[in-house]
């Protein structure tokens, strides 16, 4: 009888723990979504301190320009004049995907954004640090419809070919 009772107890406990693992995943996704919504809100309202409080101290921002790969401090220096003018950027999430690691410590996201540049994609990684979700990496990309790729390539050729040459010289 003890074995049966133990087996039932173990089964109930395992089922309960399994069910609890699903709940934190959905809660984590909701929390991450709220962080991303606040990020967009703080940029729109030019709340510099609140905006950058969402980034981990050791974080990276990758912008739409090939030269825009900044740590948090560099990104703050770039953004400060925009926020001070009262005109940062205004992004609205149109479609968002969030994946959370099994231990709910990390979350990956990608989202389609409505911006002053029309459609863009935001993607990145958040880490739960001391119980708080913080952005470790944020990548902003412009979308380019396949039908106009050749026109876009032609338009950026004069600006990016010298950069490509310079980067090739550094790697060889």
Burial of 55 (0-12, 13-18, 19+ CB in 10 A): buried
**For residue 2, is pLDDT > 50?**
yes
Cα dihedral across residues 22, 26, 31, 35: positive or negative: positive
Percentage of the chain with pLDDT > 90?
A: 83
- Total domain count, the chain: 1
Entry pTM:
0.82
pLDDT (0 to 100) of residue 65: 96
Is 53 a domain residue? yes
Residue 45 maps to which CATH number?
3.10.450.50
**For residue 51, is pLDDT > 70?**
yes
Domain enclosing residue 85, as ranges: 2-148
Task: Write out the H or E segment, with its range, that includes residue 159.
Answer: helix 149-171
């Amino acid at each position: 009888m003890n074995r049966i009772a133990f087996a039932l107890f173990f089964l109930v406990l395992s089922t309960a723990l399994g069910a609890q693992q699903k709940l934190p995943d959905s809660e984590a996704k909701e929390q991450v979504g709220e962080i991303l919504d606040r990020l967009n809100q703080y940029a729109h309202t030019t709340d510099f301190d609140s905006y950058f409080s969402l980034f981990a101290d050791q974080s990276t921002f990758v912008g739409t320009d090939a030269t825009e790969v900044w740590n948090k401090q560099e990104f703050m220096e770039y953004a400060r004049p925009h926020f001070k003018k009262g005109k940062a950027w205004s992004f609205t999430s149109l479609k968002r995907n969030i994946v959370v690691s099994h231990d709910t410590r990390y979350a990956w996201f990608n989202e389609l954004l409505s911006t002053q540049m029309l459609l863009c994609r935001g993607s990145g990684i958040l880490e739960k640090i001391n119980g708080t979700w913080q952005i470790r990496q944020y990548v902003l990309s412009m979308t380019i419809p396949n039908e106009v790729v050749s026109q876009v390539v032609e338009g950026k050729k004069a600006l990016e070919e010298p950069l490509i040459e310079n980067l090739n010289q550094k790697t060889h």
